[in-house]
Amino acid sequence: MLASRRGRLLQLAEFLELLCADEQRASLRAYAPELVPSLLRDILAVHFPGTPRSFVLRIHRLLDQLQTRLPAIAEQSEWSAAETVLVKEEARVAELVRQPEPDIPRVMPDRLAASTLAERRVTIPVVEREMLLRGHPPSFAALRTIHVEMNFSSREQGEDEILVDQVYDVDGAQHRQVRVALSIARRFLKLYAGIEDNRILILHCSFDEPNIIVGESLGAALTFAIFVELIRLYELRDAMSLRPGVAITGTLDAEGKVAAVDDHGLRLKVQACAASWMRFLIVPRGQEGIAREALEEFRVTEQLHPPLEIVGVVTLEEILFDRRLTTVQRTALPRYLAGRIWRHRRSMVIVGSILVTAIIIRLWYGPFDKNPALIEFRQESLVIQNSDGQVLFQTIVGREMSLANDEVIMEGRNAQVAALADVDADGMNELLYIRKHRVDGEWTEVCLRSRERAEPIWTRRLVRSMTFGSAEEQTEYRFIPRGLVVDDADNDGSPEVYVYATLHNFYPSILLALNASDGREIGEYVHLGRLTDIAVLDIDNDAGKEVIACGINNAFRSAGLAVFSPTEIHGMSPGTEEFRPKEYEAGAERAYLLIPRSLTGSVFRAQTFGNMATRLGDTRTGSLEVGVKDFDEYVSELGERVQGLLTMTMRSDLTVKRVQVSEPYAITAEILLRKGRLDVLPDEEYFREYVRGIRYWDGKNWTEKPTLRKPSPPVAPR
């Protein structure tokens, strides 16, 4: 509802028309000097958009009559200005209603797009009343706009803060209506946009005419404006707005449905929209007939055909989903992000300052977690990372070591090319690794390095002088470290490094025990064949660990397995005279055993030197697991080279509990059986008999009885 200037202008015009009808003109001369200036001032002050052209023409004819009867009146300064306003308004109304209907898409989307309000103003038709004549029915309606802005309050408790820019607010009715509209808009936001937020809001509602008195018919437009402002407040990417030329009228009930308005007021609102730039008027469903009837009356009365369309709705959803009425436009991502950054610039400055400070500290100090935890090979380098994957340092080890690591992973060996351990008990891990060194000749050496030092703390090159067979002079041999294990096997509080190394032709091999802190040798064992893996395990469940090595014994052309006490690693493995170096005595193994070839592997005896133990591990039950390569030959029927693998699970006394075969082994055995090269297929019964062929060394002779000698008493910690 709005106090009507046009109502007062109409009353003045009606009175002056009566005076002009008086042929005596005496009354006109008496009242004209007082009333005509008021008439001209009202013409200049009236907000004409939404005014029927017939009313404008009526006022214009009145001026013509006054000028004819009282020519002197037309000499007033405001007369020509008033005439100009009326002429322009007549032309404007005629031009507006003759414009063709714009091409607006009518496709209704199947979901509500999350949106940001692009235009915060919503047009509403309001009825004008003359405040001095309350009982007089209204004669006009006007088009006004409502503007809503919102922000989050700093308060955590209490009600939403409502600010309404109005002159009249009887008993706070306007604030209550805005609060109800906000509640409905919030429910609608939760239902259709999936946003539920109970933070306290500050809502500012303003009108382009502060004298407006908000009636119930504002409910739908107000709720729509608040809804799209809520969407904008949550800074979502798409932009939503009411299309230009769309006006809304209708009350809202408690369920958020659009309810009927006063019929007479609706007719006036249709009239105002028809005489303006409006192309759509949204009305409560059920009142479209009244609205269209009023529109038809306007067309007949004004002799104009405005392209106004009446749209009946029941819910706010129908407005949002009708693309004739609303538009959704996605903001370009750079602009959207820039907008968000600008709106949160204070927070962004704080966050940016913290990030810059953290980056500076990170560049100067490095990662906060400086404890090495992960190892990664990258071409020729070894990259050491913390538990979060941040790089702490790198060291060059050579391409050969990277390939050796790939082989370790592929075959599932226990020993590694590099390992991490806290050697000096300072809570930070050090790196123990094997590298290929080319500075002063090609050397493969064992190294210890910490994070703080670029150069190794110590290095150990494995050089031995040995005499074999009938030779009388020693020969110097450079052994190549192949793998290492770090463990405090002797429980003295200081870790040891167990390294196995071979010559280029893999014979012989040595097993070294080194003090991890300084690289000092504390044990050396020569194996008469190739070593392939080492492990530190408690195989006899005595709470003490054993050092285990496996490979092939060249003297017997058979897979070999040696078990040591951590403090007694010395001597050499059992073998024949031609394979023994003269500088070494018999070994101090707790156990040494030879694993024979199976029936299938024996078929390839002429092609391969012997079988070989290649992998060590422990099962979930604590048993020792040994992988044995029984043969590695090309099988023509399969068209590829095949490795026949056996996996043996051993008890604590080194007897075999179970033998499993790989799929290539089983397929090859079936092929050999079909070709007549095998008499029987190796099965569980065969392998129960097969394991009886394992031979155990008791220090002097080979025996079928499992032998695991007791360890010597522990020595004092070094």
Q: Specify whether 435 is located in the same domain as 568.
A: no
Q: Specify whether 438 is located in the same domain as 361.
A: no
Give, to the nearest 10 degrees, the angle between helix 53-69 and helix 5-21: 40
Residue ending a domain, among 53, 70, 98, is: 98
The answer to whether position 340 is within a domain reads yes
Distance CA 38, CA 692 (A): 128
Q: Torsions phi, psi of 567, nearest 5?
A: -95, 0
Q: Specify whether 443 is located in the same domain as 503.
A: no
Q: Specify whether 184 is located in the same domain as 315.
A: yes
Q: Specify whether 690 is located in the same domain as 575.
A: yes
pLDDT digits (tens, 9 = 90+) for 366-394: 677 889 999 998 888 899 999 888 888 99
Enter the DSSP assignment of 426: S
Give the structural domain span for 413.
370-461
Distance CA 52, CA 620 (A): 93
pLDDT digits (tens, 9 = 90+) for 201-254: 988 888 776 666 657 788 888 888 888 888 877 766 666 778 888 999 998 887
pTM: 0.54
Q: Specify whether 645 is located in the same domain as 598.
A: yes
Q: Specify whether 403 is located in the same domain as 272.
A: no
Q: Count structural domains, the chain.
A: 5
Domain at 151, CATH number: 3.30.230.10
Position of tokens 């898409």?
A: 105
The answer to whether position 383 is within a domain reads yes
Three-state DSSP class for residue 556: coil
Instruction: Give the pairing type, strands 546-553 and 558-564.
Output: antiparallel
Q: Specify whether 130 is located in the same domain as 246.
A: yes
Q: In what order do the strands lie in the sheet with 430-437?
A: 418-421, 430-437, 443-449, 458-461
Q: Specify whether 44 is located in the same domain as 81.
A: yes
Question: Is residue 553 pLDDT above 70, yes or no?
Answer: yes
Residue 418 in contact with residue 434, Cβ under 8 Å? yes
Q: Specify whether 43 is located in the same domain as 93.
A: yes
Q: Average pLDDT of 501-510?
A: 88
pLDDT digits (tens, 9 = 90+) for 573-595: 999 988 889 889 999 999 999 99
The answer to whether position 643 is within a domain reads yes
Q: Specify whether 376 is located in the same domain as 352.
A: no
The answer to whether position 594 is within a domain reads yes
The answer to whether position 278 is within a domain reads yes
pLDDT recorded at residue 173 = 74
Distance CA 486, CA 16 (A): 113
Range of lowest pLDDT (322-331, 347-356, 506-515, 686-695): 322-331
Q: Specify whether 18 is located in the same domain as 155.
A: no
Q: In what order do the strands lie in the sheet with 115-117?
A: 115-117, 238-242, 326-330
The answer to whether position 213 is within a domain reads yes
Distance CA 481, CA 435 (A): 9
The answer to whether position 555 is within a domain reads yes
The answer to whether position 393 is within a domain reads yes
